[in-house]
Every structure is written in structure tokens, then in C-alpha cells.
Amino acid sequence: MVRNEDIKIILDKLEEMYPDAECALVHDNVFQLIVAVALSAQTTDKSVNLITPALFEKYKTPEELAAAAISDVEELIRRIGMYKTKAKNIVGMAKALVQNHGGIVPDDYDSLVALPGVGRKTANVVLSVGFGHQRIAVDTHVFRVANRIGLVSEKDVLKTEYALMDRIPEERWSRTHHSLIFHGRQCCDARKPKCEECGINEYCEFCK
């Protein structure tokens, strides 16, 4: 793994490389955010952003989505993968929000992961982006890049999250999450990483 003393340098450089790194899912409020993140599982944010305008126009509140026919929701989101399961989940999520939380998205982890279709990554994104908590949500980009660079050396998502939390100062968790995602999308590609163009290649374990 990279040396502890190099971690700050790497994080600083990533922030310089991606100053605008933030959540790419278009949303106007925390309800829209949690729906969009739930829809983004195994699907690109770009694909989700293409379908959510019509979805959010028709179902503006948890109450409206909770009352929706699943088949109607399926039609609106059928362009993304696993749309039938996701339609069922987001309607179920909306019902749980209405029944258990007064139609308000909760800001604590345990309540979030109890909602249909909300796993650890979704809960962490909502807590970070929606409520300003310091969190590291490990998606496929964060998992790949963090382990490839050598920030951590883990074999699964959960261990990667815990290891990153251990090595990175808490006040930088959320920003690092977004920086790693942008680096994974724009430079550190899964199949063809652009190592010669990379601004942190001199510190990266993969490049050595």
C-alpha cells in the first residue's frame, strides 16, 4: 500500500484534478436523491439522469410515489437495468417513508437501510450528499481505484470502506469519495487506465 505520509499528497492532488467532483445524480431534494441513488445500482448515473425528470415530474412527493402503480413506474424507468425490481423497491421505499417517517427521509443509517431497496452504499450517499455527514460510499469506482492505487488492499466492498475510513481523516471522507469516483470515470478506467496521463502515477502502486 502507499505510505501513510503520501496519502495527504494523493488526496490533495485528486482534489486539484477534480475540483468540481460531486454527486452526479440530478436531484432537487433528499427524497429525489434517495430515489436516484437506489435507481443507480448497476447502472450509470447518466442513464438515471435521463429517466428521473419524468419520474419526479409525475411523482413529486413520497406520498405520490407510494400511491403509484408499480407498472406505471416500470414504464417510466424501463430504460435502466433491473427496472422491475427497482420500480417495486422505490414504491416500497416511498410507502415506508410515509408510514414510518411521516414522508421525511431519515438522517440516520439504521433507519435508511431498513427502507426497501436501500443498502449500505445508498444510505452512505444520502447521509453524505443529502445531510452533510462525512461518509465514504464504496461503489465500483471507489472499490477499484482505492485498491488499485494502494490506498487500501482489500477483497470486498465493506472491508474497503472500513480500511479507507481508517486511513483517511474523517473530515475528508465525503470529498475523497467523490474524487475517487471522478478519477475512476475520467482516468483510472477498469480496462484501460490512462496511467501516463495520471496526476498521481508516481504514488500509485499499480504504476510502479
Q: Please pick, among 13, 139, 166, 189, the residue that the annotation labels catalytic.
A: 139
**In contact, 19 and 13? CB cutoff 8 Å:** no
**C-alpha span between 153 and 198 (Å, rounded):** 20
Q: Please pick, among 121, 166, 189, 192, the residue that the annotation labels catalytic.
A: 121
User: Per the structure block, which three cell numbers stand in for 127?
Assistant: 447521509
**In contact, 83 and 71? CB cutoff 8 Å:** no
**C-alpha span between 52 and 13 (Å, rounded):** 33
Is 121 labeled as catalytic in the residue annotation?
yes
Is 6 labeled as catalytic in the residue annotation?
no
Active site residues: 121, 139
